[in-house]
Each structure stands twice: as structure tokens, then as C-alpha cells.
A = this chain, B = another copy of it.
Amino acid sequence: MNLLLLLDEDFIAPTRVRLSGRRLVHAREVLGAKAGDALKVGRLGGGIGSGRVVRMEEDALDLEVTLDQAPPPKLPLTLVLALPRPKVLDRCLQAATALGVARIVLLNAWRVEKAYWTSPKLKPEHIREQLVLGLEQARDTVLPELHLARLFVPFLETDLTELGPGRRLLAHPGATSPCPRGLEEPVILALGPEGGWIAPELGSFARAGFEPVSMGPRILRTETALAALIGRLA
């Protein structure tokens, strides 16, 4: 947690917040915060800045906050991710958020096990928790948009147009074109499941204008591939 993320309900006056729970424990036990200290804070959906500790007690931490900086800009990047195993999902959501992805679509695919879609990790409050962890890690305040696309074909044929313009890239270890670098334009990047996309899916992506691109012959774990691809595109 590199930033205490403040919610609207934390504000007890226009520039004063009262924190409890996880953020209080973090401030006390990890940051060793005491009266007078300045902590890095940000308001969910708003600015970032500094919070001066004005009261530190067992059950509440009061901060006088100045939010005078903009959060870091998002990447103009939509990540279309074949729904990973529940254990991997949390790490992917946190990493994508921390890296500054503007929009995340979790997509079904042939090699996505059906059971993944009924995991409690897909509950909105659990997903939101992962996104918040990513924001706190990266000192950001703006949640990425998140969409669930449980139907592969309708997503590619219809929903995709709602995502707006963007160069469409399909990460695929077998592709012959290397993944481009340092793009300035918006990008929609699709990343497959463990075991990869199957041939009909590759066909659907091709018809939807996705260029297959590769990071080389190495097959990477989803969370590693995601960070390496975004590091390269950013």
C-alpha cells in the first residue's frame, strides 16, 4: 500500500478524513504513523496528495488532507483477458490496475473452465478489492472499467464495437510478428488462457481485425505475459 485510498464516506469535513480498519492498521503498524506525520493519500476517483495525522488512536486515525495533484494518467489500453484460474485472477487484476490499464474485459474462451465463472472471486466486491489493491500499490485513484464477457462470439461480433477505436492486438506465442513497442494510439490487447486460444477463436479474432503478435518463443504465465506485454506497449 503506497497510498491510503480515501472514500467519500471517510470525509468528516471538507479536508478531514477519519480512517479505521485495514487502512488504520496499515498506517499504525506498517508506516508507524504518529501525530504530525504526513502520509501519502488519494481520493477514490479524485486527486492525490498528503494527509497530516491530527489524531491517532486505537480505533481511529484522523487526517487533514491536501489533494493537489492529479493521479497518474491511465494507459490508453483495454486488456481483453481470457478469464484466468481464480488463484491467478486476483494477481492479474492487481497487476493490470497497477500498470495503469484503463479497461479490463474478462472473456470466456474454449480453454477457460466453466467453473471459473462461478468462483466467488468474480463477485463484484471481491473484484473491486483487487482493483483497489492495484490502485494503492501504484498510487492511483481511478478504478479501471471492468466488464465480464461470458459469451465469446457475441463479444467479438457485437460488444467489441462498444469499446471504441484502437489497434487490435492478439498476444499469441505462435505469432510471427513481434509485439510492437511504445504505442501512442489506443490499443485493445487480447491475452489468451493457459494452453492458448483454439483455432476457431484465432479465426474470430482475425475476422475482428486483431493482429497476432508475440513476445518470442517463450510461453509465459498469464501475469508475467501481461506485465511484459504492457511494459513493452507502454
Q: Which residues of A contact B (CB under 8 A)?
A: 2, 72, 94-95, 98-100, 137-140, 181-182, 215-221, 223-232, 234
How far is it, in angstroms, between the C-alpha of A231 and the C-alpha of B234 when the chains are bound?
10
Chain B residues whose CB sits within 8 angstroms of the CB of A219 once the complex forms? 2, 98, 137-139
How far is it, in angstroms, between the C-alpha of A21 and the C-alpha of B46 when the chains are bound?
54
Q: Tell whether, in the assembled complex, residue A98 and residue B182 are in contact, meaning their CB atoms are under 8 Å apart.
A: no
- With A138-B219, A224-B227 known, 17 other A-B pairs at CB within 8 A are A72-B216, A72-B217, A95-B221, A98-B221, A99-B220, A99-B224, A100-B216, A138-B220, A139-B219, A181-B181, A215-B231, A216-B234, A223-B227, A226-B227, A227-B228, A228-B230, A228-B231
Closest Cβ–Cβ distance, residue A189 to chain B (whole Å): 12
Contact check: which of B138, B220, B221, B232 meets A232 at CB < 8 Å?
Answer: B232
How far is it, in angstroms, between the C-alpha of A100 and the C-alpha of B228 when the chains are bound?
12
How far is it, in angstroms, between the C-alpha of A230 and the C-alpha of B225 when the chains are bound?
11
Chain B residues whose CB sits within 8 angstroms of the CB of A215 once the complex forms? 231, 234
How far is it, in angstroms, between the C-alpha of A224 and the C-alpha of B196 when the chains are bound?
21
How far is it, in angstroms, between the C-alpha of A228 and the C-alpha of B220 when the chains are bound?
13
Select the residue from A100, A224, A234 with max chain B CB neighbours within 10 A. Answer: A224
Q: Tell whether, in the assembled complex, residue B218 and residue A100 are in contact, meaning their CB atoms are under 8 Å apart.
A: yes
Chain B residues whose CB sits within 8 angstroms of the CB of A2 once the complex forms? 219
How far is it, in angstroms, between the C-alpha of A226 and the C-alpha of B95 when the chains are bound?
12
How far is it, in angstroms, between the C-alpha of A4 and the C-alpha of B122 when the chains are bound?
33
Chain B residues whose CB sits within 8 angstroms of the CB of A139 once the complex forms? 217-219
Q: Tell whether, in the assembled complex, residue A218 and residue B99 are in contact, meaning their CB atoms are under 8 Å apart.
A: yes
How far is it, in angstroms, between the C-alpha of A99 and the C-alpha of B2 when the chains are bound?
27
Contact check: which of B98, B217, B232 meets A218 at CB < 8 Å?
Answer: B98
Closest Cβ–Cβ distance, residue A183 to chain B (whole Å): 11
Lowest 5 A-B CB distances belong to which pairs? A228-B231, A227-B227, A231-B231, A138-B218, A231-B232
How far is it, in angstroms, between the C-alpha of A139 and the C-alpha of B100 when the chains are bound?
30
Q: Tell whether, in the assembled complex, residue B221 and residue A231 are in contact, meaning their CB atoms are under 8 Å apart.
A: no
A137 with B220, Cβ < 8 A, contacts A181-B182, A228-B227 known:
yes
Closest Cβ–Cβ distance, residue A137 to chain B (whole Å): 6
How far is it, in angstroms, between the C-alpha of A224 and the C-alpha of B92 when the chains are bound?
10
Q: Tell whether, in the assembled complex, residue B217 and residue A98 are in contact, meaning their CB atoms are under 8 Å apart.
A: no
